Structure formats: C-alpha cells, structure tokens
Amino acid sequence: MKTIIEPFKIKAVEPLRLTSRDERRALIAEAGYNLFNLRAEDVLIDLLTDSGTAAMSQEQWAAVMRGDEAYAGSRSFYEFESKIREITNLKHVIPTHQGRAAERILFSVALRPGQVVPSNNHFDTTRANIEFQRAEAIDLVIPEGKVPALEHPFKGNLDVARLEKLIAERGAKNIPLCMLTVTNNTGGGQPVSLENIRAVSQVCRKHGIPFFLDACRFAENAYFIKLREPGQAERTPLEIARDMFRHADGCTMSAKKDGLANIGGFIALNDDAWARDMRNLLILTEGFPTYGGLAGRDLAAIARGLEEVLDEDYLRYRLACVRYLGDHLTRLGVPIVRPPGGHAVFVDARAMLSHIPPGELPGQALSCALYVEGGIRSVEIGTVMFGRRDPESGREIVADMDLVRLAIPRRVYTQSHVDYVIEVFEELVRRKDDIRGLAFEYQPPFLRHFTARFRPIAA
Ligand code: F0G
C-alpha cells in the first residue's frame, strides 16, 4: 500500500472559519503584519507551532475524567512517574507546568554565573534560561546542520571534536552539564543519531560532566533512528527511546510536544542532591512535587500520551506527513531545509524571495503572504526573531538565515489540509515577485518577534 493514512478516525470536530482574501488583507494590516497578533479564529490552517496543539485521543479524554486531583500523592502522579520511568529509567521525576519551567528549575540549581552549557542547538527558552543565570549557552551542531539544502540523515548531531575542544579550553569544572536537543528544533527539527548520543555521553562521562537530553520530541527522534541508523530497523520505538535515555543522567521535557498533551512538562534525573534542591524550588513557584503546577487530569493525559506517542503506526504517519509536505514543496521549487524534520518544514524564505534583501525581512514577508493567500499561519525564524537593530546606525543586523517554519500539530490536520497548503505555495511561487518586503514600525527591547509591528515597503 502506497498511501500512509492517518491511523485514526475523527470523533469530535472543531469547525474552521473560512475568510476571504480581502478580509485577510484587512486583518493582517490591523495586526501590524505580525501573525502573533491575529485571532486564532481568523486563521484557517494554524502551523504556528506543534506545541500544545495536539488532538488528544479518546483514551486521553477518558484519563482526564479519571484524573485524581488530590493535592499530595495523587494516583495520576504515580501513573505519570511510572510511565516516565519506564521510558527513561531515570530515578526522580519532577512535574512542571511546561518545558521552560523545567529549564528554569534545572538551571537555577545547576548553574553558576560565568559557566557554560553546550548543546547541539539550544532552543530559545533554554538559551534564555541559561543566560538568565548569567551563564553561557553554546551551540555545537555539526557543520552539515547549518547548510539548509544539504541532505544528511542526522543533521542534529553535536560536533564531538568541538565539544572536546570546548572542555579543554574552558575546563570541565566550568561546564556543569551538557545538553542535546532531540530532535533539534532550532536546526530544523533534525534528528540526533544513537551513535552521536552515545559519543557525547562518553565524552561527558570521561570528564565527569552530567549529560541531559532536551527530550521534547524524543519519540520522533527515536523513529528517525529506526528509519535511518544502521542496525536499528528491527527495534521498537520504545526500545530505541530507552536506549537514548540510557546514556543520559537526566532530561527536561515539554509534554506539549511528544507528550501529546496541551500543557505540561517534567524534569527527570538520577542525582539525589540536585533532585532535592529542585523539589524545594518547585514548591516555591510551581507546586507540591506530586503535581508541579498541573492538575491531576493533566498528569493522567500526559501518562497516556507518552504511551501513544511511541506507537509505530502513529510515528510512521507523523513523519510521513511532514515529509509529504516537504517533498511536495521541494518539487514546486520551494527551497526548504532538507531533509524535512520531524515536526515541521522550514522554508528558506531568503532564497525563495531573493528579490527582497534580508534587511527587508523576507521571512516575515513570506509569512504574511501565506496568510493573505490562504489563511495559513506560520512563524518567521530569522531576522525578526534573531536579528537586532544596531543602536548606533539604526540599521538591521540580520540573522544567519531567514526561515519560515510550518509546524504540524499532532493528529489535527488531514492530508487534504496539507494538500491545500501545497496549493497555496503553488500560487505563491507563481507570483512571488509581487511579494514586497517589510520594515519595522515598532519593536520592543527584547523578544521582539512577539509584539513588533511592521509596514509594507512600497513598490
Ligand atoms: N525545548 C524545545 C526544543 C522546544 O521546542 C520548546 C518549545 C521548549 C524547550 C520549551 O517548552 O514551550 O513547553 O515551555 N517549543 C515551542 C515551539 C514553543 O514552538 O517550538 P515549553
């Protein structure tokens, strides 16, 4: 059978509101050409993020009804803990309300000012939480991971030689932990191989550096390993995931991704002293250690989600869906980060709209054009997000790349929704030369992409 179908049928439906192109033109102008300012109701296909946007299953909704809301010692917590232990084999499981809360608590306990934390690529909240402790976040992804058009099976791998060099230069005592983001979101949702996880862990062990996974998309990463790494094809995703975690001393996780839940996260780790300090911090801001800022029903939904996310039929469909979108865009001549990642397709807007100079924000311009043309919401990952204004000249210091991410929510859209997205791109490719650049009209001092406003640059 050629077509990989959605391995589910739909029991509850949420209507989509169709809008006209004229309506969308007015709405995006009103939003200051910033898609974060749109009402979700005015969006037809929302590819802003795969985080917290999954559709839960009938078993998860049933688990919600069974959630135990006891303040301390909730049954749902023990289900959550036991599922996480089954996958990670890590001793302490500490629930948090989402991934960045896990990061804040981990780094508050582990970091001192001036220390460094290497990773393949730190996600922005991870980097921000490290910098908030006045420590340094260092990205060591392999060189292949930085070339959008280059095909490579594990573009998320960390450059082990550069890690050794960093340890030699800065000293192991200044590196309180090393991380690996699986899959590597900032680098295009690209996987990390088991071999690389093992190699990084060996270097860390040799120098006594704790090794943590940012495990948001661990199941997608495990399935890429099954598909692409020699000798892994016969193993189940759970076996591979357990092998990934076997090399780690701990992890942070946003359950809003591969937890198949709408909220939640956790830290899991082996170190008793760190775990004790983290639970003390948790009580201060998140809640008692058996709920950590979540309702019992959330813990129950995550426990079930972590089971379903490792289902092979689900993972086969999940990766096929992203690849389908990516390969079709490639066929249309749309330049994307190759190969497509696990949760999203990243379009190289700077290459696609080569008539728009990077200072005129081609990524933002493409995002707005996608909305006006087809009601699709994407997110710019480029100069708007990572560039900055030179305080002296007032000019834009542009980012390395201007990408537009099309993130696919889990189990939400059907193949015809994806076909529709492809058709919208077909139309945009035809008239891409009409798309104009944008200029900032307002920008806040930090995290400017969330609240900035823009104006179109006249022809
Ligand atoms: N780490 C990675 C790799 C992530 O992708 C995210 C979130 C986080 C940590 C933080 O988790 O949102 O639960 O606090 N990524 C979302 C995204 C927001 O759209 O890529 P959180």
Say how far residue 105 (Cα) sits from the centre of its chain. 19
Query: Cα–Cα distance between 49 and 254 in angstroms, integer?
Result: 13
Q: How many CA atoms lie within 13 Å of 429's alpha carbon, on the beta-carbon side? A: 16
The alpha carbons of the chain give a radius of gyration, in whole angstroms, of 22
Domains and CATH numbers, the chain: 21-50+311-456 (3.90.1150.10), 58-308 (3.40.640.10)
Of 444, 433, 337, residue with least CA distance to 382:
337
Residue 125 CB–ligand 1 contact under 6 Å: yes
- DSSP string for residues in 52-115: S-PPPPHHHHHHHHH----SSS-HHHHHHHHHHHHHH--SEEEEESSHHHHHHHHHHHH--TT-
pLDDT of residue 1: 65
Residues 6+ apart with CB under 8 A from 332: 422, 425, 426, 429
pLDDT of residue 124: 87
SS3 428: helix
pLDDT of residue 447: 81
Residue 100 CB–ligand 1 contact under 6 Å: yes
Q: Are 397 and 388 in contact (CB under 8 A)?
A: yes
Task: Label the pairing between strands 211-214 and 178-181.
Answer: parallel
Query: Cα–Cα distance between 429 and 294 in angstroms, integer?
Result: 45
pLDDT of residue 310: 98
CA distances 44 to 23, 124, 424, Å, are 13, 27, 12
| DSSP assignment letter at 18 | -
Query: Cα–Cα distance between 407 and 395 in angstroms, integer?
Result: 30
CA distances 280 to 19, 65, 105, 210, 277, Å, are 50, 30, 10, 21, 5
In this structure, what are the phi and psi dihedrals at residue 93, rounded to the nearest 5 degrees?
A: -120, 120
Query: Cα–Cα distance between 113 and 234 in angstroms, integer?
Result: 45
Residues 6+ apart with CB under 8 A from 314: 7, 308, 411
Pocket test residue of 96, 216, 322 for ligand 1, highest count of atoms within 8 A of CB: 216
Q: What is the pLDDT along the chain (459 residues), one digit of tens a residue?
A: 688 899 999 999 999 999 999 999 999 999 999 999 999 999 999 999 999 999 999 999 999 999 999 999 999 999 999 999 999 999 999 999 999 999 999 999 999 999 999 999 999 899 999 999 999 999 999 999 999 999 999 999 999 999 999 999 999 999 999 999 999 998 889 999 999 999 999 999 999 999 999 999 999 999 999 999 999 999 999 999 999 999 999 999 999 999 999 999 999 999 999 999 999 999 999 999 999 999 999 999 999 999 999 999 999 999 999 999 999 999 999 999 999 999 999 999 999 999 999 999 999 999 999 999 999 999 999 999 988 888 888 888 998 889 999 999 999 999 999 999 999 999 999 999 999 999 999 998 878 999 999 999 987
Task: Label the pairing between strands 344-348 and 403-407.
Answer: antiparallel
Query: Which residue owns the Cα nearest ligand 1 atom 12?
Result: 99
Query: Cα–Cα distance between 434 and 356 in angstroms, integer?
Result: 10
Residue 184 CB–ligand 1 contact under 6 Å: no
Residues 6+ apart with CB under 8 A from 223: 237, 240, 312, 315, 316, 318, 319, 342
Query: Is the omega angle on the peptide bond into residue 183 within 30 degrees of 0, that is, cis?
Result: yes
Query: Cα–Cα distance between 58 and 214 in angstroms, integer?
Result: 28
Residue 185 CB–ligand 1 contact under 6 Å: yes
Tell me which amino acid residue 458 is: A
pLDDT of residue 187: 85
Residue 127 CB–ligand 1 contact under 6 Å: no
Q: Are 224 and 315 in contact (CB under 8 A)?
A: no
pLDDT of residue 155: 97
Query: Cα–Cα distance between 258 and 185 in angstroms, integer?
Result: 13
Query: Cα–Cα distance between 192 and 189 in angstroms, integer?
Result: 10
CA distances 248 to 167, 180, 318, 436, Å, are 18, 10, 26, 47
In this structure, what are the phi and psi dihedrals at residue 278, rounded to the nearest 5 degrees?
A: -65, -40
Pocket test residue of 96, 256, 266 for ligand 1, highest count of atoms within 8 A of CB: 256
In the β-sheet with 379-381, what is the strand arrangement from edge to edge? 344-348, 403-407, 379-381
Structure tokens at 212: 């943590």
pLDDT of residue 459: 74
Distance from residue 203's CA to the centre of ligand 1 (Å) = 27
Query: Cα–Cα distance between 412 and 406 in angstroms, integer?
Result: 14
First and final CA of the chain: distance in angstroms? Answer: 50
Of 424, 268, 204, residue with least CA distance to 332:
424
Find the length of the chain: 459
Query: Cα–Cα distance between 269 and 358 in angstroms, integer?
Result: 43
Structure tokens at 165: 């060099």
Residue 98 CB–ligand 1 contact under 6 Å: yes
| DSSP assignment letter at 178 | E
In this structure, what are the phi and psi dihedrals at residue 119, rounded to the nearest 5 degrees?
A: -155, 175
C-alpha torsion 333→422→348→52, nearest 10: -160
- Ligand 1, residue 255: give the atom nearest the CA: 13
